């Protein structure tokens, strides 16, 4: 029984925790973007042409987290459905 719990954690909960961490980092990355104007701290601005790159990286990281969640939940639902069908036979 212990092996089943470890397998369930590694197969479902660990990827979801990693995806949650990635999503939190992406949101933090997007919310802490340096201002594009002269306001804010001196010297804390984007280099020329880097604004789009900053946001693209943040959105891309959030997309990776979403893909990880969707694939993990899809595998979990498929495995649960298969187990239910096997118990019914």
Q: Please check the confidence at residue 42 and state whether its pLDDT lies above 80.
A: no
pLDDT tens-digit profile of 68-82?
A: 999 999 988 888 888
Looking at residue 45, the DSSP 8-state letter turns out to be: S
Output the pLDDT for position 67.
94
The closest alpha carbon to 58, from 16, 21, 27, belongs to: 27
pLDDT tens-digit profile of 54-70?
A: 888 889 999 999 999 99
Rounded to whole angstroms, the Cα distance separating 89 from 74 reads 23
């Amino acid at each position: 029984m212990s092996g089943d719990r470890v397998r369930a954690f590694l197969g479902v909960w660990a990827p979801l925790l990693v995806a949650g961490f990635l999503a939190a980092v992406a949101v933090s990355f997007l919310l802490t973007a340096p201002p594009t104007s002269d306001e804010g701290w001196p010297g804390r601005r984007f280099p020329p042409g880097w604004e789009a790159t900053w946001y693209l990286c943040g959105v891309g990281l959030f997309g990776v987290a979403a893909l990880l969640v969707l694939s993990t939940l899809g595998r979990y639902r498929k495995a649960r459905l298969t187990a239910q069908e096997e118990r019914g036979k």
